[in-house]
Structure 1
Amino acid sequence: MWPNAVAHALRHIEWAFTQPGRYLDASAFCSPGINDARDDLEWAMRHLPPGAQRDLGRLIAHIDEELQRRTLPEPHHTELAPFGWWWTRMRER
């Protein structure tokens, strides 16, 4: 990971969540997008010391709740599930 990767990922996700509408539109998922940012956070969780893991884990829990609220399940992308559940979500209606 590069310096400030976690901060960059959090900023990208925060930007996407400030966009209007009930559902996130496809622009939030353009590469690099929310899925890539969420991947970076997952990678960081695996490599941080326990205290930092707990702190970041609390942020990720809120991110995941909002991501689930603003996306829909995409049944045709189940092959992407090994990369993370967030890759199996529909971007817009």
Structure 2
Amino acid sequence: MRRVEAEHLWPVAVALSRFERAFRQPGRYLSGPYESPGIEIEEGRDDLDVALRHLPARARADLGRLVERIDAEFERRTLPDPGWASEWTAGRWWWWRIRER
């Protein structure tokens, strides 16, 4: 069994915290930055994606179920932005969403 060090889980904890704060916002649509300009919850989703690729199977399954719920809520509270997709965001649909309405 592969051991996961606590220091590698810190980005996961921060990402989950960012989404928790964002989803507490009232209203149908999410708006602007949550922590400070340049620190986006989409970066937190990137961290979760990395964790999903590196965690052992059982932990990956547990986090995967949580990420599925996060993705569904994020998609529900944002709008598509088909004009913003770039090579940098390839495969990372969460960067192609508009949070502000």
More displaced 10-residue stretch of structure 1: 78-87 or 5-14: 78-87
Say if 2:3 is the partner of 1:7.
Answer: no
CA distance, structure 1, for counterparts of residue 57 and residue 9 of structure 2 = 19
Q: 1:3 deviation in Å?
A: 4.9
The residue type equivalent to 2:69 in the other structure is H
* Per-residue deviation, residues 47-90 of structure 1 (Å, max 9, x unmatched): 00000000000000000000000000002112154150000001
Match of 2:85, SS state, is: helix
User: Which AA in structure 1 matches 2:53?
Assistant: R
What is the aligned partner in structure 2 of residue 84 from structure 1? 92
Q: Show the counterpart of 2:30.
A: 24
- Secondary structure in 2 matching 1:41: helix
Cα-Cα RMSD: 1.8
**Unmatched segments (≥5 aa) in structure 1:** none
Once residues 41 and 76 of structure 1 are traced to their aligned partners in structure 2, the CA distance between those partners, rounded to angstroms, is: 25
Which stretches in structure 2 are left out of the alignment for 5+ residues?
Answer: 1-6
Q: Among the aligned pairs, what percent are the same residue?
A: 48
Are 1:60 and 2:63 counterparts? no
How many pairs are equivalent?
93
